[in-house]
Structure 1
């Protein structure tokens, strides 16, 4: 529906920006998608573990999944806008994913590490779900640590500046 009143992207962005964003923006987008997929994997691991327990609250788990789903879809929408040169999207992703999101992912493992008397205590009662959660969380953190700097690569900065000039 381009060129109509229902067009999703502003006309100047469609007309004057390169067809494809620079590699740095593509790397950032890929990193964000990988982070989202790791978040989905971690959420599903959590739900599967809770459902396996005797007192699973299905309504609460479904509600939690719904909230996460909405958040993940919103992040994906903002990431897509970022690939089209929206500077505001880059800022939102930097603050939301690069700061708040990373802190939320790191705080629990950091607290567990700091509270352990010995390093071996961290591996007591290790379960498959804990290992999967650790893998997903590590992938999530690494993907974000790749995506955020990529959005500020010189080629990406030029792309966002060009997008800002073409929309004004």
Structure 2
């Protein structure tokens, strides 16, 4: 059996994705859905205020939509075996992405003189935003180890690595899934 990136070749016609690669992809998609939902709810809240410039909200939405599309494209590449896309997602979402998600809640906790002050005056919209943020954080925390472990050949479900012959190596290069 040959392995290329996150795929294992089970037959000449088919490639099988490791469960961890699929889990990492699904976690990224869940994080994106939660992020988009939070973004749209925050935009709707901002637009309720008549003093907020619509152009500013539109620019912010465009920037975030671009980021989300780039993350989705990387996740799709990761699912199809791209090691560089997997690395970018793990490093990018695991550092900058996660830090941006937890900075606001941690700042609120640190600014409060007691824990109950953080939850005083919580509105239903704020609770929904908190739920979206929590789902987003948990999905990223699931994605990171799954993506790191995707495509490894260790563990009880791994198949032994077989060194291809010269003829198989040429065929293997033509059968790359990307």
TM range (shorter): 0.7 to 0.9
Distance 1:138 1:27 in 2: 18
Task: State yes or no: 1:96 paired with 2:57.
Answer: no
* TM-score, L = length of structure 2: 0.77
- 1:106 maps to which residue? 102
Segments of 4+ in structure 1 off by > 4 A? 165-168
Distance 2:52 2:28 in 1: 31
What count of residue pairs does the alignment treat as equivalent?
Answer: 152
Name structure 1 gaps, 5 residues minimum. Answer: 1-11
CA contact (8 A) 1:39 1:136 kept: yes
Q: Give the CA deviation at 1:99.
A: 1.1
- 1:33 maps to which residue? 29
- 1:128 maps to which residue? 124
CA RMSD after TM alignment: 2.6
Name structure 2 gaps, 5 residues minimum. Answer: 163-168
- 2:59 maps to which residue? 63
- 2:39 maps to which residue? 43
Which of structures 1 and 2 has the bigger CA Rg? 2
Residues 124-147 of structure 1 deviation map (CA, whole Å, 9 limit, x = unaligned): 221222112111110000001111
* TM-score, L = length of structure 1: 0.81
CA contact (8 A) 1:31 1:143 kept: yes
